[in-house]
Structure 1
Amino acid sequence: MIRQAILGHAIADAMGVPFEFRARDTFTVTDYEGFGSWDVPAGSFSDDSSMLFCTMRHQIEHSDIDDLKQKFCDWLYNGYWTYNRKASFDVGNTTKHAIDRWLQYGFDTELPCDEHQNGNGALMRILPVMLAANSHDDVFQLSRRYALTHLHIRSILSCTFFGHIVLALKDGHSFADSFQLAQRYTQPHFMTFQGERPHFARLMDTTILTAPRETIKSSGYVIDTLEAVCWSMAQSFSYEQAIFTAIELGSDTDTVGALTGSLAGMLYGLHHIPAHWIRELSRIDDIEQLIHEFEQQVIS
């Protein structure tokens, strides 16, 4: 299940890259494409997967958080775990600002923590942290520990909700049951962070799963992203259908696609997808080796 989660994420990321920023209903996804919104070839993954791979490497090495921050710096400016080993493309403003502050002032420098820091930059890379979590009791603290670039509680709670879904899927639950478990485990945090409850209203009352498509936003705002992912999963019965549904929402296609792909990979597997989706993913041999080490050093 680890392999199908990670590859599910990366494949959908690469599938969504050429359509990023495109308006809804102006394109159709059927396969990898190159040189669309970004000047990169077909099968190229973005920051979503690069930062996830950095996180996996940190977990494999059992290194400290400062080392992970250094890996993010090396990714942004030195091509570490980019699709072509060159400086990254498609970097979120909050992520870049955090990394630049680390480089200028040190890893202990204080970062902004307000409502304007609620992009999806922490959510998009939290998957391997949750795959390695021992229990639902650990999810909130892991979300807080690995926020790093996005420190507002809304982002942390979004990672928490997603993390509970990951753990439940890992335990063999259906998506519907996993979603309900995420609601149950996230609810107590709103006793402490009462002001955040309205932002999670559609997630906590389940209306997001049956909401009309026109009400689903797919922007880089962390709540929009999380809602779009859960909605896409609720409409789907296969990996392909899930990621196509997510990406064709438009806007932040790579991140919404990647997060949906990770959950869909866990739920449906990758057995029936076209073989070239795996074969033509950039750096697939490196990714397969990373997954193998992750399974051996972190999960086992």
Structure 2
Amino acid sequence: MDIMNRIKGGLYGVAVGDALGGTTEFMSRKEIANRHGYLTEIVGGGVWSLEPGEVTDDTMMTLCVAEGIIQNPLDPLREIGELFLEWYRSDPKDIGNIIRQVFRRYEGSWFEAALIADLDLGRSAGNGSLMRCLPVGLAYVELAQLEKMSRMQSRMTHYDERCDEACLIYNRIAWRLMRGEELRAAIAAEISGTPYADILTQTEEPDCEPSGFVVDTFRWVLYLLLQSSSFAEVVQKAANLGGDSDTIGAIAGGLAGVYYGFTGIPQTYTDAILIRSRLDAAAQKIWELRVGQLEHSDSPK
């Protein structure tokens, strides 16, 4: 599978999982079943009154990270931050509490704002940095740079080490998938020796809610990826969980999109997304960035 197929699949995978799961966010499984049966189509609505194909903070912040990296791949912190603030000032429908607190406290230093928010809230182990981190895994060829940028973009809003860990594992899986490794093998290699290792042998659902706590979210994401056989199955299962379904769908959909490729995402899903032109532009620029790195390194394609 060519690299562009994987890059575009990853970005669209985030958006599709987000748009599908946005309909059922904060609902229980029983409520979803009563209202939708088993949700398989992007229909909008939900708590945010979404238009069909409209995305939420998961995808929009992912694009901020992608476009910041494109503008300044060697040190994108300032560019990502400016895009975050531009998005925040647009008065988005959906924004996580931890991220909102960081934005309110930002006075020139993202890391300081994240620390203050963590101290004020007493916690910052939400899934808001994991939901947006995939562009790092798509853009960087060298693993050391990928790890550095994964941690940096996470610490801009989330001070908790568990968020760093999840972003690092997630993007290292993406790095392996970009090199053509099988999904299960890539996951196994990166969760071995971590608190998520037991997911590999688990056949029953995780014993945690599909919540916004980063550890719970990531356990569900890994479980869905390992227990599904297609992109559609991954995001549909995520949407029908309820809880933080849009974010779980976006995170799982991102890796599923990298693995199955853009051509592995049903066209009815990709055609429904309202911000296709922005996703297409970001995918093209990330591909160009990646090609440029490969031309100046000995890394395998």
Q: TM-score, normalised by structure 2?
A: 0.84
Whole-angstrom CA distance in 1 between matches of 2:146 and 2:289: 20
Deviation at 1:216, TM superposition (A): 4.3
- Greater shift, 267-276 or 120-129, is seen at 267-276
CA RMSD for the aligned pairs? 2.0
Q: How far does residue 140 in structure 1 lie from its aligned partner after superposition?
A: 3.6
The aligned residue for residue 88 of structure 1 is 92
Residues 69 and 107, structure 1, Cα contact 8 Å, conserved in 2: no
What does residue 58 of structure 2 align with? Answer: 48
Matching of residues 1-300 of structure 1 within 5 Å:
1-27=6-32, 28-62=38-72, 64-78=76-90, 87-102=91-106, 105-107=107-109, 109-112=112-115, 113=118, 116-147=123-154, 148-184=156-192, 187=193, 201=195, 203-204=196-197, 206-207=198-199, 210-213=202-205, 215-300=207-292
Contact 2:232–2:266, Cα closer than 8 Å, also in 1: no
Counterpart Cα distance in 1 of 2:250 and 2:62: 11
CA distance in 1, matches of 2:129, 2:174: 15
Cα-to-partner distance string for 1:37-88 (whole Å, 9 max, x where unaligned): 211211011100001111111111116412311210110112xxxxxxxx21
Output the CA distance in 1 between the equivalents of 2:263 and 2:88: 33
Comparing 227-236 and 26-35, the one that deviates more: 26-35
| Counterpart residue number, 2:3 | none
Cα deviation, residue 211, structure 1 = 4.4
Aligned-partner Cα distance in 1 for 2:142–2:240: 34
Distance 1:58 1:272, change over 3 A: closer
| SS of structure 2 residue aligned to 1:8 | helix
In structure 1, C-alpha distance between the alignment counterparts of 2:30 and 2:200, rounded to whole Å: 20
CA distance in 1, matches of 2:266, 2:87: 30
State the structure with bigger RCO (CA 8 A, min sep 6), 1 or 2: 2
Query: Does the 8 A contact of 1:225 with 1:256 survive in 2?
Result: yes
Paired letter, 1:19? T
Q: Decide whether the 8 Å contact of 2:235 with 2:249 is kept in 1.
A: yes
Distance 1:110 1:92, change over 3 A: closer
The answer to which of 131-140 and 20-29 deviates more is 131-140
Aligned residue identity for 1:95: I
Structure 1 gaps of 5+ residues are 79-86, 188-199
| Equivalent AA in structure 2 for residue 172 of structure 1 | G
Q: Distance in 2 between matches of 1:243 and 1:173?
A: 21
In structure 2, distance between residues paired with 1:91 and 1:100: 12
**Structure 1 residues 209 and 70: alpha-carbon distance in aligned structure 2, compared to 1, 3 A threshold:** farther
The answer to whether the 8 Å contact 1:209/1:231 transfers is no
Contact preservation (8 Å) 1:94, 1:117: yes
Query: CA–CA distance in 1 between the matches of 2:83 and 2:29?
Result: 34
Whole-Å separation in 2 of the counterparts to 1:215 and 1:278: 32
Count of residues in correspondence between the two structures: 274
Distance in 2, matches of 1:55 and 1:169, equals 20
Contact kept, 8 Å, 2:209 with 2:216, in 1: the verdict is yes
Which residue in 2 is equivalent to 1:84? none
Deviations 1:175-222 (A, max 9, x none): 2111122125xx4xxxxxxxxxxxx53x12x24652422624211000
Give the whole-Å Cα distance in 2 for the aligned partners of 1:285 and 1:207: 36
Aligned residues with identical type, % of pairs: 26
TM-score, structure 1 length as denominator? Answer: 0.85
Cα shift at 1:272: 5.0
Q: What is aligned with 1:83?
A: none
**Cα distance in 2, alignment partners of residues 298 and 133 from structure 1:** 6
- SS of 1:162 mapped into structure 2: helix
